[in-house]
Structure 1
Amino acid sequence: MVEEEVRYGAIGSHGRLFVPEGAGSRPGVIVFPGGGGIGEACYRSARRMAEQGYVALAADYYGGGFRGKDLSDPENGRRFAELAGDAALMRARATEAFDVLAARPEVDAGRIAAIGYCFGGAMAVEFALSGAAIRAAIGFHMVLGPLTLSDAGKAKARLLICNGTRDPYAPLEDITAFEAAMRDQAEARWQVNLYGGVRHNFTDPDTGGDPEVFRYDAHADRESWNAATFLLRDALGS
């Protein structure tokens, strides 16, 4: 596997590309990190995608490779609030990541998906709601509040949300609102997987903070990854 630092976009994003060994044009996957910004958890996920045979881009939606400690960090909180409160900006940042991945000679630009964690899940799904030419969008322990649900009918991608039932950042009313919006779309292909008793950040073995809020869950991690990789194989034809 080849790892390559990639600078792109109007805000000088610091992405990292993971390319599997072997020649040929491959499907691509954009990996959006959690609300703290790009870091090792995002790289780990992108690396796992490359091990599955995809060209994966760990995307930097804050720019400059910014990585905050958590949202209590004032600068992290400012950047998060700016982006989460502006759907057009979310879509523009996602488009920059898509364009840089689609332009790579190793990538089949007609077979690209997006996945994300926490706020990164919202980035992936919001990009799909814009009508973007991606095949699938997947969110793990994702926040749903920023989504433009009035655009549900524009989504061409298959959608998958994998969340825990005890995640305070994804309350039941947000999940219910998402389901209601999608049910109105006869052509939509979407799925919500809920893991009972599971908290926020359940895919990250290194998660910290209050264990009543943030807690790794090996079962939910494994099951959600299996669901995601199955969907990607089906949607990307790989």
Structure 2
Amino acid sequence: MKTKIIGLVFVIVVAVGVYGFSLRQTAHTPVSSEGDDDAQKLADVADDTDQENVIYYKTITGYLATPHGTGPHPAIILIHEWWGLNDDIKDLAQRYADAGYVALTVDLYNGQNTTDPAVAQKFAGEVRGSTEEAFNNLRGAVEYLRARPDVDGDRLASVGWCFGGGWSYQMAVGNLGTKASVMYYGQFDPHDDFVHMRSAILGHFGEKDASIKVDNVREFQAQLKTASGAHEVYVYPNVGHGFANARGGTNVAYSAEAADQAWERTMIFLTETLK
């Protein structure tokens, strides 16, 4: 088992929790585009994948991106930020599909999304008030993927950002059927039961994130050492909350260097854990 902490975090916690994780986020408002170069990159990725809207749980519609080829492929459940299921998360689904994964973006807001932080906080609070339905939503995503002939149901992972990072963590500690769970600056509870957890965890945190305390990260690291599995936790120096989101607000939090490093580590982690 390898658990790594890189860098030092000086942070102040934002404490609105549910099952040990917060549903608040730093307010980085999405913008619509990154310019011609990024648009061309996304178009190139889309050419190598297939995309469609699918109903995966009750009447809830998610966005599915699949790699070319019959498979069966490993699959990723992508969990959106507190803005909801938007084009940012769909672009990420295409990127994961281009890397060889069937990528399903779930929708915990039942078709709603926003660019207004106050509305996003309201949406997140509604999920906080109905956590069992959110868990059922994620279980539905697992069942949907396992039923697909192009998916290897034994090789499932979750990836989430911010609000979604906390839910990706919950998929791990709740043993919802994933072998790997990646959390980008998502909240956690270092006192959870990690001994019986069957999913490996990869955590990405920013040194200057104002919503996660360094002491909690260190305690998280220590508790993960009690669990079996190749758990890894990284803290990226001189970056804050939302560092991996190229479309976040005015992009002051975005760090291409940290985002690229986190992506590379995620690819290695998923390859190793979804063998």
Shared fold (TM-score greater than 0.5)? yes
The 1-side partners of 2:98 and 2:72 are apart by 15
Match of 1:124 in 2: 168
Q: What root-mean-square deviation, in Å, do the aligned CA atoms of Structure 1 and Structure 2 show? A: 2.0
Q: Secondary structure at the match of 2:118?
A: coil
Q: Does 1:198 align with 2:236?
A: no
Contact persistence 2:185–2:205 (CA under 8 A): yes
Q: Secondary structure at the match of 2:245?
A: coil
Residues 176 and 91 (structure 1 numbering): CA distance in 2 closer, same or farther, change over 3 Å?
farther
Match of 2:109 in 1: 62
Match of 2:12 in 1: none
The 2-side partners of 1:209 and 1:174 are apart by 29
The 1-side partners of 2:185 and 2:265 are apart by 14
Which of the numbers 178, 188, 213 marks the counterpart of 1:134? 178
* Structure 1 residues 105-124: aligned runs within 5 Å: 105-124=149-168
The 2-side partners of 1:174 and 1:92 are apart by 28
Q: How far 1:37 moved relative to its partner?
A: 0.8
Q: Secondary structure at the match of 2:211?
A: coil
Q: Secondary structure at the match of 1:69?
A: coil
Which of the numbers 36, 40, 49 marks the counterpart of 2:87? 40
Q: Which has the larger radius of gyration?
A: 2
Contact persistence 1:87–1:126 (CA under 8 A): no
- Structure 2 counterpart of 1:4, which letter? E
Contact persistence 1:132–1:156 (CA under 8 A): no
The 2-side partners of 1:7 and 1:116 are apart by 20
Q: Under a length normalisation based on structure 2, what TM-score does the superposition of the two structures give?
A: 0.76
Contact persistence 1:132–1:155 (CA under 8 A): no
Contact persistence 2:190–2:216 (CA under 8 A): no
- Structure 2 counterpart of 1:102, which letter? R
Residues 67 and 31 (structure 1 numbering): CA distance in 2 closer, same or farther, change over 3 Å?
same
Q: How far 1:176 moved relative to its partner?
A: 2.8
Contact persistence 1:130–1:151 (CA under 8 A): no
Match of 1:207 in 2: 248
Which of the numbers 19, 23, 27 marks the counterpart of 2:74? 27
Contact persistence 1:153–1:188 (CA under 8 A): no
The 2-side partners of 1:94 and 1:177 are apart by 27
Q: Under a length normalisation based on structure 1, what TM-score does the superposition of the two structures give?
A: 0.87
Residues 30 and 210 (structure 1 numbering): CA distance in 2 closer, same or farther, change over 3 Å?
closer
1:21-53 per-position Cα deviation (integer Å, ceiling 9, x unaligned): 112211111111111111112111111110011
- Structure 2 counterpart of 1:38, which letter? L
The 2-side partners of 1:28 and 1:67 are apart by 24
Which of the numbers 223, 226, 244 marks the counterpart of 1:184? 226
Q: How far 1:121 moved relative to its partner?
A: 1.0
Contact persistence 2:82–2:123 (CA under 8 A): no
Q: Does 1:93 align with 2:137?
A: yes
In structure 2, the gaps of 5 or more residues are: 1-48
Match of 1:3 in 2: 51
* Structure 1 residues 157-236: aligned runs within 5 Å: 157-185=199-227, 187-208=228-249, 211=252, 215-236=253-274
Contact persistence 1:137–1:159 (CA under 8 A): yes
Q: Secondary structure at the match of 1:154?
A: coil
1:87-123 per-position Cα deviation (integer Å, ceiling 9, x unaligned): 5444322212211122111101111111111111111
Q: Secondary structure at the match of 2:194?
A: helix
Q: Which has the higher contact order (CA 8 A, sep 6+)?
A: 2
- Structure 2 counterpart of 1:117, which letter? W
Q: How far 1:210 moved relative to its partner?
A: 8.9
The total of aligned residue pairs comes to 227
